[in-house]
Amino acid sequence: MSDGGRERVTEAFARLFPAALLCAFLLFFFYRQIHDYDIWFHLVVGREMAHNGALPKTMFYLLPLLGEPTNYIEWGFGLAQHLAYATAGFSGMALLNSVLATGALLFAYSAAVGRKSWLHPAALLALAIIAWSFRTRTEYRAEMVLFLALGITFWALERFMECGQWRKLVPIPLCALILSQAHPSSLLIVPLIGAYGIEALRTPPSGATRAGSLVALAGSAGLALLLACVNPYGWRQVALPVIAHLADLSNPDLMYAVTEYQPVMATDFRSTYIVLVLLAIPAVLLAPRHRIAAGLLLAVFGGLAFLYARNIGLFALVLTIPAVRLALRVWPQELPAWPSRAAAAAVPLAFLMAFPLWRGDWGSGPVPQVFPEQSVSYLRTHLPRARVFNFIDYGGYLAWALGREATVFADSHDTAMNRAAELHDGVFQAEPGWQDVLERYRINAIFTPTLMSYSGRLITLVVPLANDNNWQLVNVEDAGLLFVRSDLAPATVIDKREIWRHMLVEAQWVLDTYPDHPQPWLARALAQEALGDVGQALLSRRRFDASQRR
């Protein structure tokens, strides 16, 4: 090889090695076990598509909706995850999840560092903070594809703002097209384009006019929305975020019971949010460029995260570019030679390795004891064709783990209320006639926790089940309780007093995270009364009354 060839290889290696090294660290950081419920119904749909070679047009696994027209708006994500599982098991799924998260951050990070080293200590420190906060929403959700699409959009917009060439915007409509197959959120690309359009009004890109810049940006937004409509569900898929939000507002019980719909300061994400806000303020005030775009986007997505904890991942992603640029600006340029810089860079890289190990969720497959694995094992052995009435959170896992022969009652795959969800709510609230619903659908197993996970509110059905001889308790695990019909129960069943003991455990889990919630104290009192501990029950009721008054 000639000297010129060696120099080119050396230059290419010097340019690519830092990016590859950082990519490896982030892939490790985001390689995590499954803790979120939603991934399972995605896998159910992906498995059905692989089996039949087509997107299902009717419901095939929820008992009250069997054969009815329905939609699977995130089919692309489910198919991708199923193929990853079919190829490499849970390890393949974990790697795909990690690639999506890593790609989202690296595209934004690339735009922020520009021509500086990817291993610059200041940039790495800012990235580590963002990655720590971003990780709260990287749990095998379809919105991971949204994060990647937004990361690429930021990268494309930053490149456009450097030179004003419309070709730099081409990735944005393509991202919208792909995103609409995996997640109904292509509409969220538009605010990013709009913020940079306002920025271009003040400071147009080099070599471009204000009018030309606005035409190019508006054209990319219009084409993105047009291509996003090229999906099995058309324009409704694009408008769904607005439609679903209005539907959520009309369902106060859902808003109260589900963590991700709560204001972030009422959840255990509040410290993460405070860190992001404290970083966002100087990042905007000291922004060397694109301050208007950064300020607008951080205000919008920071406000969304404040209202709904589920948006904290979007807030973190939007903060990536201004945070990295802030770090580069305040970093002391007179720092000594490379040993000091290397030592400083090693700190955030070490954090990326240590944090997931400290959290204990690094790896692949389900987090132990989160999902009803023991109940599934029981049903697969004793009732392989089970018809399960299940608490809605666990419908996807049960449908996936029990296989195509079993059917479940409800899950959260649909953003709109449906008959399965309505019947589910009525039975779990033990409304009059709940036994008739179970008879009508020939239910032979019931799986449920005793309390709702965030609010700690009692699941009312547990009380009549504890006194109903038609249902026997056959399994108790952290995820919940499994009941089967008495004529299908084994000779030896579990004492139903275990229901109340498990309720005490679940109440304590809620109180450990949300000590001000009143409902767990009421559940504790009920369980203690059932177990004959009258004195403790009285104390729990007093705590409930005190919490209610606060």
**DSSP-assigned states of every residue in 416-455:** S--HHHHHHHHHHTT-TTHHHHHHHTT--EEEE-SB-TTT
Give residue 15's pLDDT.
73
Q: Which amino acid is at 277?
A: V
Q: Starting at the edge strand that comes first in sequence, how are the strands of the sheet with 471-477 ordered?
A: 407-408, 387-390, 445-448, 480-485, 471-477
pLDDT for res 241: 81
In angstroms, rounded to a whole number, what is the distance separating the alpha carbons of residues 324 and 108? 10
DSSP letter for 208, please. -
**What is the β-pairing status of strands 471-477 and 407-408?**
unpaired
Q: So what's the pLDDT on residue 443?
A: 97
Three-class HEC string of 270-295: HHHHHHHHHHHHHHHHCCCCCHHHHH
How many CB atoms lie under 10 A from the CB of residue 326?
25
> What's the pLDDT score for residue 424?
96
pLDDT of res. 341: 72
pLDDT at 343: 77
Beta bridge partners of 471: 485
Helix residue ranges per DSSP H, 203-269: 210-228, 235-249, 252-257
How confident is the model at residue 255, as a pLDDT? 46
- Give the residue extent of every domain in the chain: 22-359, 373-549
Pairing between strand 471-477 and 480-485? antiparallel
Rounded CA separation 125/323 (Å): 10
Strand, helix or coil for residue 196: helix
Q: Write down the pLDDT at residue 9.
A: 53
Global pTM exceeds 0.85: yes
Confidence at residue 261, expressed as pLDDT on a 0 to 100 scale: 78
CA–CA separation, 187 vs 254, rounded Å? 24
CA distance 524 to 541: 8
Sign of the C-alpha dihedral computed for residues 328, 332, 334 and 340 taken in this order:
negative
Show pLDDT as tens, one digit a residue, over the chain (550 residues).
555 556 555 565 667 888 999 999 999 999 999 999 999 999 999 999 999 999 999 999 999 999 999 989 999 999 999 999 999 999 999 999 999 999 999 999 999 998 888 999 999 999 999 999 999 999 999 999 999 999 999 999 999 999 999 999 999 999 999 999 999 999 999 999 999 999 999 999 988 899 999 999 999 999 999 999 999 999 988 998 887 666 655 555 544 456 677 899 988 899 999 999 999 999 999 988 899 999 999 999 999 999 999 999 999 999 999 999 999 998 877 655 566 677 788 999 999 999 999 999 999 999 999 999 999 999 999 999 999 999 999 999 999 999 998 999 999 887 677 899 999 999 999 999 999 999 999 999 999 999 998 899 999 999 999 999 999 999 999 999 999 999 999 989 999 999 999 999 999 999 999 998 999 999 999 999 999 999 999 999 999 999 887 7
Token code pair at residue 200: 């271009």
* Whole-number Å distance between alpha carbons of 252 and 317: 29
* pLDDT in the model for residue 331: 84
